Amino acid sequence: MRMKNLLDMAMLALNHVQGDPLNPTAREDLVKYLINCETWTHYEIMIFYNFIFIFDVETVIVIQKWLIRVISRYDNLRLYGSEPFRTLVKITMFYLEHGKVLEALESLMDLRDFDIQEEFLFERTMYKFVAGETYTITNTNRIKAIDDALNIFQAAGSTHQVNRLVDHMKLVVKANQFHNDNFDALIEKWGGTPSTKTPTTTTVS
């Protein structure tokens, strides 16, 4: 089964990177595997995390509710951070990219329930970013929080992460038809395309 999953993931990753339609058989098989898997381990969580783009919003909502219920039984913290927390951040970003701001706000409530240790800088910075972004879209100005998060990643040498987050911001602008001068200026500051132009990338962390 894992070999079949690996082949499906390779096919879907190639489709995604090249901007091609997802292979329907590979997509269906991988979705079916995750949906039918009663107990998720590190393996299943990582598949979902990296291939969330193959799911529709309704399925992600169902998976999120299930994930929240089983988190208490999962080994939450690893040496490099919290997998469930990172997965919920990814889900929140997924909602924003699909214009589902209410669902993103609800995800933030779930994220607040986590007790993230001080040394997990990635988790804390990603929460600052995604919370700032979500609240800004709902007309509560958190531009500084977004900018601070990007500055932290830049200072840590994570240029690739900064670029991915800027690409994500452009997708969010387009999906939500969100026009805000400060948000546009922030995207432009970090080398992105303002919302008055068409986003050109689709890769998101």
State whether 47 and 11 are in the same domain: yes
- Going residue by residue through the chain, which has 205 residues, state the pLDDT in tens, using 9 for 90 and above: 789 999 999 999 999 999 999 999 999 999 999 999 888 888 898 999 999 999 999 999 999 988 887 765 555 545 456 788 899 999 999 999 999 999 999 999 999 888 787 888 999 999 999 999 999 999 888 999 999 999 999 999 999 999 999 999 999 999 999 988 999 999 999 985 544 443 333 334 4
Q: Quick one: pLDDT at residue 203?
A: 37
Cross-strand partners of 78: 81
- pLDDT score at 134: 96
Question: Amino acid identity, residue 11?
Answer: M
What pLDDT is recorded for position 198?
A: 38
Identify the pLDDT of residue 40.
86
Residue 41 sits at φ, ψ, to 5 deg, of -105, -170
Cβ-Cβ contacts under 8 Å for 169 (sequence gap 6 or more): 133, 146, 183, 186, 187, 192
Question: In the listed set 75, 98, 129, which residue is the last one of a domain according to the structure?
Answer: 75
Q: Of 75, 94, 121, which one is at a domain's C-terminal end?
A: 75
Reported pTM? 0.86
Domain boundary among 39, 56, 75: 75
- Structural domain total, the chain: 2
For residues 37 and 130, membership in a common domain is answered with no
Q: Calculate Rg over the CA atoms of the chain.
A: 17
Q: How many CB atoms lie within 10 A of CB 39?
A: 8
Looking at residue 83, what is its pLDDT?
A: 81
Handedness of CA 73, 78, 81, 87 (dihedral sign): negative
Residue 129's domain comprises 76-205
Tokens for 85, please give them: 């927390």
Distances (CA, A) of 148 to 65, 87, 109, 133, 185: 30, 22, 21, 12, 14
Asked whether residue 50 falls in the same domain as residue 118, the answer is no
The 3-state DSSP class for residue 196 equals coil
Amino acid 204: pLDDT: 41
In this predicted structure, what is the pLDDT of residue 85?
87
Same domain, 164 and 119: yes
